[in-house]
Structure 1
Amino acid sequence: MKRWRPRGLAARIIVLTLLALVISQCVSYLSFRSGRQGFIEHMISDYMSQSVISVDHSLRYAKPGHEGDLVRSLSSRPVHFDLVRRPPHCAAHNADSRRYARDFAERLNVSLSRVRVCVGRGLMHSQHGPGRMAVELAFRRDDGRWLDVRQRLPGQIEHWAQASLRNLLITLALMSVAVIFASRRITRPLLDLASAAERYGRGERIRPIRERGSDEIKRTIVEFNRMHERIDRFVAERTRLVAALAHDLRTPITALRLRLEFLPDDDNTRAMNATLADMAHMSEAALTFMREEASAEATRRMDLTALVDAVAEDYRAADAPVRFEPGAPIPLVCRPVAIRRALRNVIDNALAYGEIAELALADSGQQVVIEVADRGPGIGEAEMDKVFDAFVRLETSRNRETGGVGLGLSIARSVIRAHGGDITLANRPEGGLVVRMTLPRARM
């Protein structure tokens, strides 16, 4: 049942509106049919009762032996009169015939035994067959003979039902067009909002959404635009602050290195000089990272398989042990330069501490996973989150002699999360570490 339940707001509006229309039409049809049936019965009973009273009264003034001719002369196409000695024989007595009989007996002010009623087809024949439904009323006169009246029922219910069904289908078709058009206009601002939120979650730069729709939807869009503006302003201020700190650190570091030039050359001065060089390297790396974060690279659709293969080819050209077997093209909307930078940082990390980098791509339809595996000593489970912190280097398995300032994985995670994905680490059963970068696909 849940499989056929509409998920979208527009689809639910359409289904609920059309369902309400169908229910209202069905209720109207049943109500009208019931009222129509009662009206027809009342009209037939009143007309036939009055006819029987009038004809019975006229027969009192007819010449003896000419009563039958007088009665038959009063017949017409929809109504037939006759004077018979025996009451009509009905094939079956149903609820309609019993209801008519009680009504006629009450209107004629006689006992029910003096009334016979038949309701059905075949009571009045025509040249085209048995004809439509009819009512036959037989009234026993005082002389013992029966005055027989046959009346066709106006219009068949089946024909009216077909016309009602045709009108219902026409109304549904017109209402469907109107509801679909209206629901799309109602839900279009929500679709724009969802698309903007999805693109903003992937790190794309978006413009403020046009404020339109109902008051509730317009207010939601206004708040989203304000949130977007505040987040952009906060990120820009943070980036400028960190970049300014990294830039301002150059002056005291340079001053300290100049003062060391006037001190004797011994182990202490060489150690301090190395520490200052390390600090300068860290500040430069932080400044470079902040500049790259502040750069506005536009997202575009590209082949991720070709991008990964191109990066791997650059390493292979430099005789670096990087392996990758390209497969089918994987189209993805992303920032290619940023993805390339994150991938290089992870590969450099694998080559520095794991001897080799083995790349793999997996596409699940909803997301794409880039795996970079090495054959190093791996990382302890308790330390896997720490390596993503800026300027963190694990001394046990990632010592300082290999170089770097501890920003590689931090930059990679920042890039991947800016695309709406995530990056995780796991130790391989056969030894080594595997880095998984998950990138969501854009929702179409």
Structure 2
Amino acid sequence: MKRFWPRSLLGQVLLVVAGALLVAQAISAVLLFRASEDRRMQRTVGSLALQLTAASSGALAGPSGERLGERFGPMRAMRGAHERFGPRRMRIERTDRPPALPRDRAEPAIRAALRTVLAEQGLRGSDDLRVTSRSALSDPRVLRRIEMGRPFAPEMHLERARIVLASVPDGQGKWITARAISQPRDPQALRALVAQTFVLFVVLMLAIGLLLRRITRPLAALTRRVEAFARTPDSVAPLLPEGPDDVRRLIEAHNAMEARIGAMLDEKDVMLGAIGHDLKTPLAALRVRIESVEDDAERERMAAGIEDIVRTLDDILSLARVGRASEPPERTDLGALAASVVEEFEDMSQPATLAEGPRVVAPVHVTWAKRALRNLVANAVRYGGEAQVSVLREGNRAVLRVTDDGPGIAPDRLSTITDPFVRGEASRNRETGGAGLGLTLARAIAEAHGGQLVLENRPEGGLRAELRLPL
């Protein structure tokens, strides 16, 4: 079911309306068909009832002894009533037994309705009523009438019509048989219903489609704007409000929110720049002043502390600026990018290797991508002793994978290890860990590219960290 269910608002509404319309038309068609069948049967029952009562009026008496002909008035009035109920009656037949042909078909529904009518009129013998039908062109009386040059009206459609025969005993050893032509179902009615459904379907779908397009077009533009703003929250011209008033108000509210967020981000950049300048200046002065410390060990510890503060400050400033690039991403060979990062670690005599793989090109901010991969390799070297780097392509994603043979990460900490200042190792010593911003920065860089950072413990031991970036 989900496979055929549209994902867009326009498709879902059109599909639901189309389904509801088809169901409603199907119910309407069934009701119309049943009403048409009821009318056809009522015409046939009425014609047969009038013939039988008229034929029996001279032979059978009602419950109070009067003649049925006297109860129903002159035959002229009977014929006028008969014309209202159905086609002109055929001649009544009196025989020793009910007429029958091999292919006659019993009509229990017509028999039940006709028996009720005859019983209400007080006609005796209705309990023995027999009703059958046959093809019109197989009935001897119809064929004899045609041979005598008395054709039926064209609207009779004898090739498709049926003759309904109703026989009742007359109380004198004879059977009175009445005939009525049951007209076939009109194919024009079905075609008219199909045409009506088609016209209604087209008009309704067109009207709803135009209305939904007026709603979904500005919503689609707003969605694209939100997605673009999430990737690069740059200050651009506000989105033009359009569509119904509710959608216009939504777009105007988004424009106001976007302008406020942009102003806050600009203020943040200015503030961080000032903080970085104000902190690095006294740190540089401290680095100069510690040179006067005579104890070499104490001087080195003080210098290492200053370097820790500077690196942590650089990480914080980098994390704050992710997503605020001034230049668009450029298509880059990720294999060459990974090779340059691995060479940096090899130059520092740290164990990092690059596996051969396919050439994968993706749009990235080179500086950010290098920084993210560098942080992953540094973590693998620090905690696993060695980093194995590979570049892969999986579907529409490029994967920068870093694996190690270390202890991995406790399963209950995998979901929080990328939070700021959360570390896999409890100490704050730069030699064994750090400030806990490396994975946070890598995750932020991946998300700024529309990708994600995935961390998994390997079954054979160690950690697998993947930067998955869209191609």
Alignment-mate amino acid for residue 85 of structure 1: T
Determine helix, strand or coil for the equivalent of 2:91.
Answer: strand
Structure 2: runs of 5 or more not aligned: 60-86, 144-156
1:412 corresponds to which letter in structure 2?
A
- Equivalent residue number for residue 32 of structure 2: 32
The equivalent residue for 1:66 is none
Deviation, 1:247, is: 0.7
Q: Is the 8 A contact 1:359 1:370 kept in 2?
A: yes
* Corresponding letter in the other structure for 1:84: R
Distance 1:161 1:386, change over 3 A: closer
Q: Offset at 1:210?
A: 5.0
Matches within 5 A, 1:286-435: 289=318, 294-299=324-329, 302=331, 306-312=333-339, 315-316=342-343, 320=347, 322-327=353-358, 329=360, 334-347=364-377, 357-365=387-395, 368-374=398-404, 389=420, 399=430, 408-423=438-453, 434=463
Give the whole-Å Cα distance in 2 for the aligned partners of 1:117 and 1:19: 46
The match for 1:67 is none
Q: 1:165: how far off?
A: 4.7
The 3 A distance-change label for structure 1 pair 274 and 167 is same
1:121 paired residue number:
134
The whole-number CA distance in structure 2 between the counterparts of 1:134 and 1:83 is 14
Change (3 A) 1:260 1:337: closer
Counterpart of 1:151 (choices 169, 173, 180) is: 180
CA distance in 2, matches of 1:43, 1:88: 22
Distance 1:106 1:379 in 2: 94
* Structure 1 residue 152 displacement after superposition: 1.5
In structure 1, what residue type is equivalent to 2:181? R
Distance 1:277 1:396, change over 3 A: closer
Tell me which amino acid in the other structure corresponds to 1:308.
G
Show the counterpart of 2:466.
437
Unmatched 5+ stretches in structure 1 = 60-76
Aligned to 1:95: 108
Note if contact 2:391-2:400 (Cα within 8 Å) is conserved in structure 1. yes
SS at match of 2:390: strand
Shift in Å, 1:391: 12
Partners of 1:54 and 1:327 lie apart in 2 by 98
- Say which SS state the counterpart of residue 89 (structure 1) adopts: coil
Number of corresponding residues: 421
Q: Deviations over 1:195-217 (max 9, x none)?
A: 44555555565965554555665
3-state secondary structure, aligned to 1:325: coil
Deviations along 1:278-336, whole A, 9 cap, x unmatched?
37844883697356664334357x46xx223344157559965541312264x656545
**Distance in 2 between the 1:429 and 1:398 partners?**
29
- Measured against aligned partners, the alpha-carbon deviations of 1:20-64 in whole angstroms (never above 9, x if no partner) come to 2122222222222232233333334444545666778899xxxxx
Q: Cα deviations across residues 56-105 of structure 1 (Å, max 9, x unaligned)?
A: 8899xxxxxxxxxxxxxxxxx96421443335335454322313432552
CA distance in 2, matches of 1:437, 1:205: 28
SS of the counterpart of 1:81? coil
Alignment RMSD:
5.3
Q: Is the 8 A contact 1:246 1:283 kept in 2?
A: no
Counterpart-to-counterpart distance in 2, 1:393 and 1:274: 25
Partners of 1:286 and 1:99 lie apart in 2 by 93
| Alpha carbons of structure 1 residues 137 and 406: separation in structure 2 relative to 1, 3 Å | closer
- The letter of the residue matching 1:309 is A
Partner of 1:244: 274
In 1, distance between residues paired with 2:308 and 2:227?
A: 39
Identical aligned residues as a percent: 22
Distance 1:214 1:241 in 2: 41
2: distance between equivalents of 1:323 and 1:238?
38
Q: 1:148 to 1:271 in 2, by over 3 A?
A: closer
TM-score by length of 1: 0.68
1:84 paired to 2:94: yes
- Report the CA distance shift for 1:397/1:114 in structure 2 as closer, same or farther (over 3 A): closer
Residues of 2 paired with 1:48 and 1:293: CA distance?
89
Give 2:161's aligned residue. 132
Give 1:69's aligned residue.
none
Which amino acid in structure 2 is aligned with residue 33 of structure 1?
Answer: F
Change (3 A) 1:357 1:87: same
Evaluate the alpha carbon distance shift between residue 429 and residue 83 of structure 1 in structure 2; reply closer, same or farther with a 3 A threshold: closer
